[in-house]
Amino acid sequence: MLNNSLADNSSLENGRPEPNITALLPILIFLIIYLGSGLYYEYIHPIEGKMGFYITSVVVSFGIALITAFMQNRKLSFDEKINVCAKGIGNTSVTIMLLIFLLAGAFSGIATAAGGAINTANLLLSIIPADFSLVGIFLIACVISMSMGTSVGTISMLAPIALIIANNSGISVPLCAATVIGGAMFGDNLSFISDTTIVATKTQGVAMKEKFLANIKIALPAAVITVVVLIGISIHSEINLTDNLDFNFLLTLPYFLVFGLALAGINVFLVLLIGIILFIIFGVCFDAISYATAFEAMGNGTSSMFETIIVSILVASISALVKEHGGFEAILEYIRKHFNSKKGGMLGIALLTSFMDVATANNTVAIFAAAPIAKDISKEYGVTGRITASLMDTCSCIVQGIIPYGAQLLVAASIMGISSISIMPYLFYQFILTLFVAIVIIRAR
């Protein structure tokens, strides 16, 4: 009795609720609704012209999960639960993320409308010899994704070019698709304006530059080995790329400037604003856009971020309630029992983030959902914030770039007229990156 009393008092002094596995029910409900229906409509009962994992809205699925969270823990009144949600949503990191999402959307919209993305791709592809176009498309995807901060946007832009390479060579279409996806995930993982980078760094309270330096030690060697593999494939393939890819060099400058400023550690808000202004000026000067179309493009870009913003708010609310009800403590208790070292803590963070991505098919949402638990794990086992952010971002990008029901594979498959499953065996970068993550964890001290 005395020991139990002391444990209860200790729990109260630490401000932590008692571990409660049933508090994780909202997450299970989300998995059943979103992942279950996605698998059903993608592989069991597909609907023509629709992607199975986009029939059931992720917003609605999380909404039902939030209702479930509200129905738990009768010790708290409805108003008290609303207050818990408000504190979760009102977190400084969440507010910063929501504002950056809006700016990132505006930047992506104006960059695409002004022709900066396609001109940058064509410039790089024109520099690379035709015999190594497969390697080139990987490197181009890396650079464009780092500049744009979006893997799906990169894939949408480069998949048609990759299809041309496949049609004009002996290289298989799934291999070309996988090459684009690999490069896109490399850039998405490292980009300073990527949703995943923003969420991983802000939730763990670390600077983007610190996370980048930790990430590059894992991602760059994996990319180099991938390039070597692609060179080996190119040597045994006859490529004859005849299409003339035109570009305007000046329209590529804003992209490279934005990346340079971000790499220099300039505030992300300022970087995005400079990029937006430059694309408006350059786009208007070269008649790529008008004043009206520029603002329309920015509006469309910010609108494309609305679902991400809503999901972020819902996840913040659910996470706050699950934590308040003792769900995160239950996970931490399990990890403490099975992972008793720094290596175990790092492995726990990696597995947790990967699981969340398998469940949500969205790397940004996966990081956001796993972040509170990951932060507690990092404190418990002495894992630095930059390593935690790096592991979360890297593992979410690995899984997101492999699952056949994720947007990345589905978009590439749709554009290139193949099945997403046929791409999976050629995802060299993701598989190699997984190996390097394992090495980092094994070597941790």
CB of 191 within 8 A of CB of 149?
yes
At 75-128, the pLDDT tens digits run: 899 999 999 999 988 877 678 778 887 887 888 788 888 888 778 767 766 777
Q: Per residue in 259-277, is it b (16+ CB within 10 Å) or e — as a string?
A: bebbeeeeebeebbebbbe
Task: Output the pLDDT for position 9.
Answer: 37
pLDDT at position 116 is 80
Q: Is 235 exposed, middle or buried (0-12, 13-18, 19+ CB in 10 A)?
A: exposed
Sequential DSSP letters for 109-152 = HHHHHTTHHHHHHHHHHHHS-GGGHHHHHHHHHHHHHHHH--HH
- The pLDDT tens digits of the residues spanning 80-92 come to 999 999 998 887 7
The CA dihedral of 66, 68, 74, 77, to the nearest 10 degrees, is 30
Q: Return the sign of the alpha-carbon dihedral for residues 186, 354, 386, 322.
A: positive
**pLDDT given at position 241:** 55
Confidence at residue 255, expressed as pLDDT on a 0 to 100 scale: 78
State pTM to two decimals.
Answer: 0.71
Short-list 68, 79, 5, CA closest to 31: 68
- In three-state secondary structure terms, 275 is helix
Residue numbers in the chain where pLDDT is lower than 50: 1-13
Count Cβ atoms below 10 Å from residue 187 Cβ, excluding itself. 26
Query: Could you count the other beta carbons within 10 Å of the beta carbon of residue 172?
Result: 16
